[in-house]
Amino acid sequence: MQARKGVLAWTGAVAAIVLLALILFWSDLTGKADPTTTPTPSGTTNATATTPTAPASSATPTPDARSQAVAQAEARYRSAMAAADRAGHDPRRIDMKALVAAGNTDPWLADIINDLVFDRDNGYYSTGSVQILSMRATRVVLTGEQPSIRLDVCADTSKIQSILRSTGKPAPDGPGDIDRPHFTAEMVKTAVPGVNGGKSTWFLKSNKVVGKC
């Protein structure tokens, strides 16, 4: 009887140990298979996708492109000055569109209009035209949003004469009048509706007298 109890006790102990082992093993399996646990790979970081931006073009214009641009700007300067001269021949008929189409833009255009209005209101008109003696580019910028060219110009204005309409006699020269002015001209390339088919072209923006030639 005692031996049977000992066997039963030993058998119960073994069964308990086996049951405990099974419980631990099952717990380990279910812990590893837990779908709520998402491992984070080592060495990874959250990042926001970015789209590369192409760098602004900084290509240097070729000598041919530079020469062509300067030639075009010089031709437009001559055209703009000639249009201003023609407008002065009869300031009673100011044609803004013609002045712009020829290559004049503000603030230089505003200066032309102011002179024409003064002559019209005071009974003057002019004869003759500006003669370009020399012209050269001193600064050329063909890249960026606003291409520009600076021109150094020597001119002869001695043939331009202001006439008083009521008498037909020349007006006296004003103080500071120069027969051979030295200009610094700023040309800009832009598109204006109705000019050059809407394509970019050169306009005279500023034309300052900086001395004598």
Residue written as tokens 């008109």?
Answer: 125
The dihedral through the CA atoms of 15, 20, 25, 26 has a sign that is positive
Question: Is 56 a domain residue?
Answer: no
Domain that holds residue 104: 63-212
CATH at 135: 3.10.450
Q: According to the model, what pLDDT value does residue 14 have?
A: 39
The dihedral through the CA atoms of 37, 38, 39, 43 has a sign that is negative
Q: For the whole model, what pTM was predicted?
A: 0.71
Question: Is 47 a domain residue?
Answer: no
Question: Is 33 a domain residue?
Answer: no
Q: What is the mean pLDDT of residues 19-38?
A: 42
Weakest mean pLDDT among 4-8, 80-84, 102-106, 129-133:
4-8
- Tokens, residue 126: 């002019």
Instruction: In whole angstroms, give the CA distance from residue 159 to residue 131.
Output: 8
Evaluate whether 87 touches 112 at the Cβ level (below 8 Å).
Answer: yes
Evaluate whether 196 touches 155 at the Cβ level (below 8 Å).
Answer: no
Does residue 75 have a pLDDT over 50? yes
The total number of structural domains in the chain stands at 1
Backbone angles phi, psi at 208, to 5 degrees: -100, 140
Instruction: In whole angstroms, give the CA distance from residue 11 to residue 13.
Output: 5
Q: What is the tens place of the pLDDT at every residue in 134-166? A: 999 999 999 999 999 999 999 999 999 999 999
Question: Is 54 a domain residue?
Answer: no
Residue 151 exposure: Cα atoms within 13 Å on the Cβ side: 29
Question: Is 159 a domain residue?
Answer: yes
Question: Is 3 a domain residue?
Answer: no
Computed over every residue of the chain, the mean pLDDT equals: 80
Instruction: In whole angstroms, give the CA distance from residue 90 to residue 127.
Output: 9
Weakest mean pLDDT among 23-27, 102-106, 111-115:
23-27
Does residue 209 have a pLDDT over 80? yes
Q: According to the model, what pLDDT value does residue 5 have?
A: 37
Question: Is 20 a domain residue?
Answer: no
